[in-house]
Each structure stands twice: as C-alpha cells, then as structure tokens.
Structure 1
C-alpha cells in the first residue's frame, strides 16, 4: 500500500489568468495574460503596433523562462483616451488655426466639425511620433506585464495545488478499493477451492488425490492476480512520489502512470470477473486522475 503523503507538494496548472490596466500620456493600456492546456509551450503576443516589437521578444523570453507547458496568449490593448485634460490643448488650437488659414488661402469651405476632425488626426499623428512618449508607454507596458506575470503564476500555482490534492485523494480512494479487491478475491478464491474439494468428495476422491491437487493448481494459476496487484500498488506509490517531488513538471508523468494503472486494473478484472464491480470504480478514479493530470504542467 502507498504511504500517506506528509510532505509539501508543488505543481502548476496549465490554466491561468491575469489582467492589469494603466493610463499614461493620454493613453489607456490593458494587458491581459491567459493560458490554456497545451502539449508543449505555445506563446502568442498581440502588440499594439510595430513600434513595440521589442516588447514581444522580451515577453516571450520571460514566459519561456517561467513556464514548461501550455498555450499562452498575451494581449496588449493601447487606446488614446478621449479625456480633453490629457491633451495638449494649446497645440491642438494651433493646428486648428493653421488649418483655417490654409482653407482661407485656398478658398476652401470646411465646417468647424470637419476642421476639428482633421486637426485631431493631425494631433494623433504628431503624438505618435513622440519617441519619449513611446518609451514611457513601453516602460509602463513592461511594468504591467511583470505585475500580471506574478499574479498569473500565483493563479496557476493555486489551481495546481487544488489539482494535486484532488489527485492525491483519488489515489487514497484507489488504495481503499484495492484493499477491498484483495478481500473479495480471497473470499472468491477460498470459495472456488471449496467447490473443487466438495466435487472431489462427491466423487469419493481424497483432497490429496493427484487429480484434485492438479485441479486446485490449475485454479490457482488461472486466478493468480498477485502480479497485477503488486503493479497497481507500485503505480499508486509512483504517482505519490511524483506529487511529492520538487519538479514542477508533473502532468505528463502522472498521465503516463495513470495509463499503466488503468491497464493493470483491466487485466485484474479480466482474470477475475467477480472483481469487475470494484474494477469499474477503480477505472473511474484512474480516468479522473488522468484528466486532472492533463491540466498540469
């Protein structure tokens, strides 16, 4: 039987989420970091424009150094705010004045609304060329990402702890089912022996008669599930060893062991159909372990 787990265990779920926001220089920034299950590590970064291309490389490198598996999406939404207090009103007034003078010289009639729209586009373009402002926005995005990454990792660890506890509880339940299977098998084995002995007596054969002894040996060979039980116990111990290990990457290993565990349970129930009811419950818990391990890094 597997020993109770008394050490602290650590794992991470492949799912996580974090979102951070900020406003700077008339722009609002929303940075979202989320991940779902994946066989490997797949990272996608959505940047506002090519002006922030260097951020994509930085973000990907940070994630690669932090995660082992999962499909990760980082989205950076950058929008100019409409709040007039964040704008350089004097500069905008000069643009409007220049536009009106140009219209007069060219004898073009434009409404005030149209002039204002053109002035706003010109204002935005001029703001986009402000390299110092871009650097401040980059620094803010970097800060938001680091904050989001910390929160993101914490959410993955919290979910991972829940998954590991669930897997451990199912291993303990499997141990209980295995103990019941042993008891049921012993009862069935003894009953089968008694049947052969009773049949032999009805034929006036002694228990030590070679025919009776041979029948008993064949029965024991047919019903022998000692190897399957031993391997099931080893697999359960192995899962607990993986759980208690210091390695973060636990999902693939537990999933593989669960597959082997399922195979041994099937073999055991095929040899002794009388254990099929217990085996069904054991397979159910094993499948749950496999499902939960698929959510772990």
Structure 2
C-alpha cells in the first residue's frame, strides 16, 4: 500500500528528521538514505522496518543536524585535487576571477565529522526511536486507508459471489437448453418425412452436456470466494494469498467461457473476469 510519513525531533544535541515513503510491490524492497556515520546501522534499520511492514517498496531517509560543535577532519588531498581541477578549468576557459575558499566549500566530501563510537551510539538511540515513531505513524495512516479499501474489496468479492450464484442457476437448465438447440438444428436439417432417432438424440445431448458441465468450476469458484471472504477479515498480511486466489478465479472463469453453451453464462463469466481484474488491482494495495 502506498503511504508517506515524516517526523522531526530535536534534542539538546541533534535535530533529526525521518521520512518514509512506500509504494506497492509484491515483496518487501527496502532502500535507505542515511548519513555516512550511521552506515553501520543500515542492517538494523532494515530489521526495524521489516517488523512493521511486510510488502511494498520502502524508502527511508534520515537527516541529522548537529546542534553542538563536533570535530571535523579535512581531506587535504581531495581538497587539493578539486582546487587544481577547478584552476585548470578556469585557465582553459579564460576566466579572470581567481578561485577562493568558498569555491571549495560546496564539495562536502572534503569534510568529515570525526565521531567516536560513543557519540554514534548515543545518536543512534535517538534516531532509532524516531524511526520507530515514524513507522508507527505510517502504519496508523495505512490502517485508516485499509478500512476504506476493505469496503471496496468486500463489495467486489460479494459481486463475484452473486455472479457465480447466477451462473450456477443457469447451469441447472443447461441440459434442457442443449437438447432444445440440438432438436432445433436437427429439425432444420432433416426432411419432414424422416423422424429423429431418439437414442441417438439422447446420446448426442449427453455428450455435449458432459463437455459443457461446469459444476466443478462453480464449486472451485465458490471455494475461492469463500476463502477471500475469510482472508479480508483477518488482522494479518493476506495480500499474497488474495493475489493467488484472484489468479485461480481468473482461471476458472476462463474454463467456463471455453465450455459455455449459453450466451447468458458467457456474459456472466466475462463480467466475473472484469470484476476479478478490478479486485486484483486493489489487492496490490494490501500487505
């Protein structure tokens, strides 16, 4: 499910913000953007996220501003390389203005904070709590959205159930409909003075009715739909199972269409496929 959450907190030493964005995805795909001095905590951040989210593309971004002075290291070799490169560019382009220190300050990688392990751990404790709070806020917003989503999904599942009920009702008269069509076709072909062989007629009806029998498909559809109704009421990740069931429902409707000998059943099966495709799209928003 798509979602967005952002939180900012300030302590005596730090100002930290955490931003989390989520997009639909079959699995859990996590990416993080954090300051270099917290890079050792990336695995731990992934673990925290996986405790709250089970599906989706998740991007987390952490920003830290120090409110107290910290010691800095200057990479003089890199600074010299930048200066010489810029000086060469200035000369080749014929720029008259001389380079100044401000021209080098835009290259942040020249400066690195010298943080010892104790400072990093102290900062991590503060950042970790903010990550958890941001995730809790995100989950809360997703749950509100999920309640609205449940209403739409439940309507689609009930609509599928009604479609299958109507197909089942029509299928009860399938043999009689087939017999009527065969009789009408035979009567058009046979001359008026020739009577229809009853045994051959009944055999033909039985063979065609057997090939058009959709009782098993209807039974499986009812089973899949009942399972969907159970899953959408569960307070746990069910998106993967629901997605699998929509694939099975699609397959059963296709089989019914291939067997159909009644226009009404064909139309209902097509409607069922359409509703099921809408359901599949909505299920992508569910964990």
- The TM-score normalised by the length of structure 1 is 0.68
Q: Cα offset for 1:27?
A: 5.0
- Give yes or no for contact 2:31–2:58 (8 Å, CA) kept in 1: yes
Indicate conservation of the 8 Å contact 2:26/2:240, yes or no: no
Identify the residue that residue 78 of structure 2 maps to in structure 1.
Answer: none
Other-structure match for 2:284: 294
Q: CA–CA distance in 2 between the matches of 1:47 and 1:57?
A: 12
Aligned residues: 245
Q: Aligned in 2, Cα 1:218/1:46: closer, same or farther, shift over 3 Å?
A: same
In structure 2, the residue corresponding to 1:244 is in which secondary structure? coil
- Alignment match of 1:220 (pick from 178, 193, 209): 209
CA change 1:279–1:26 in 2 (3 A) is: same
CA contact (8 A) 1:265 1:279 kept: yes
SS state at 1:30 partner: strand
Aligned to 2:4: 17
Distance in 1, matches of 2:145 and 2:216, equals 36
Residues 119-147 of structure 1: CA distance to partner in whole angstroms, max 9, x if unpaired? xxxxxx89966988766644432232121
Deviation at 1:222, TM superposition (A): 3.1
Rounded Cα–Cα distance in structure 1 between residues aligned with 2:62 and 2:271: 47
8 Å CA contact retained: 1:31, 1:74? yes
Q: RMSD value over aligned CA atoms?
A: 3.6
Is the deviation greater in 262-271 or in 175-184?
175-184
> In the aligned structure 2, how far is the partner of 1:129 from the partner of 1:191?
83
- Aligned residue for 1:39, secondary structure, equals coil
Change (3 A) 1:135 1:262: closer
Aligned to 1:279: 269
The 5-angstrom pairing of residues 1-297 of structure 1 reads 13=1, 15-25=2-12, 28-50=15-37, 52-79=38-65, 137-186=123-172, 189-197=175-183, 205=195, 209-245=198-234, 248-272=236-260, 274=263, 275-297=265-287
User: CA shift at 1:295, angstroms?
Assistant: 2.5
Tell me, what secondary structure is at the counterpart of 2:52? coil
C-alpha distance after superposition, 1:71-92 (max 9, x if no partner): 2211012246xxxxx778xxxx
Q: CA deviation at 1:285?
A: 1.0
Residues 213-261 of structure 1 deviation map (CA, whole Å, 9 limit, x = unaligned)? 2232123223211111111111111222322345x22111111111111
* Distance in 2 between residues matched to 1:226 and 1:37, nearest whole Å: 36
- Residue 264 (structure 1) shift: 0.8
SS in 2 for 1:249: coil
Equivalents in 2 of 1:276, 1:167: separation in Å?
24
Question: Post-superposition shift, 1:48?
Answer: 2.0
CA distance in 2, matches of 1:127, 1:264: 62
Question: 1:188-232: per-residue Cα shift (whole Å, max 9, x none)?
Answer: 64333234456579666489x312222321232232111111111
Flag the 1:135–1:212 CA change in 2: closer, same or farther, 3 A: closer
> In the superposition, relative to structure 1, how do residues 75 and 225 fare at CA in structure 2: closer, same or farther (>3 Å)?
same
Structure 1, gaps ≥5 residues long: 1-12, 81-85, 89-113, 116-124
Q: Does structure 1 conserve the Cα–Cα contact (< 8 Å) formed by 2:174 and 2:209?
A: no
More RCO (CA 8 Å, sep 6+): 1
Structure 2, gaps ≥5 residues long:
70-99, 102-110
